[in-house]
């Protein structure tokens, strides 16, 4: 990342992700700025949306789980449990245990 500059970035520049010549300024939520080409800007936005959705789903499940198990000594070790579960879920994903439908198009209005 090249953000935090005392001088503003030029509007156009080399993509900081892939090196393409058609990068434009991309503003990150934390105030950092980089040059991203349209393809990398789209990929970055999709990655963030997918991450946020996964985090929200996990957070909701963990909150419900903690409300049930959270007071039992020796049971709650979220870091270790989530690490082990995450590793197993990733292994299952890599072996094809989940559908990989990808991004679906928006349905057309009737
Ligand atoms: Zn790029």
Closest CA to 49 of 39, 60, 41, 61: 41
Convert the pLDDT of each residue in 40-79 to its tens digit.
999 999 999 999 999 999 999 999 999 999 888 888 889 9
Between the CA of 54 and the centroid of ligand 1 the distance, in Å, is 25
Between the CA of 48 and the centroid of ligand 1 the distance, in Å, is 16
Is this model's pTM higher than 0.75 or not? Answer: no
Between the CA of 30 and the centroid of ligand 1 the distance, in Å, is 20
Domain range annotation of the chain: 40-91
Distances (CA, A) of 82 to 58, 66, 87, 93: 10, 13, 8, 16
Convert the pLDDT of each residue in 77-93 to its tens digit.
899 999 999 999 999 99
The two structure tokens encoding residue 39? 């393809």
């Amino acid at each position: 990342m090249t953000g935090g500059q005392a001088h503003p970035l030029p509007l156009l520049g080399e993509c900081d992700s892939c090196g393409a010549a058609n990068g434009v300024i991309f503003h990150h939520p934390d105030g950092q700025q980089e040059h991203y080409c349209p393809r990398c800007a789209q990929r970055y936005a999709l990655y963030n949306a997918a991450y946020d959705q996964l985090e929200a789903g996990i957070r909701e499940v963990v909150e419900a789980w903690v409300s049930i198990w959270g007071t039992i000594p020796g049971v709650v070790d979220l870091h270790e449990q989530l690490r082990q579960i995450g590793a197993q879920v990733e292994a299952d994903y890599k072996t094809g245990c989940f559908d990989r439908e990808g991004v679906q198009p928006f349905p057309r209005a009737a």
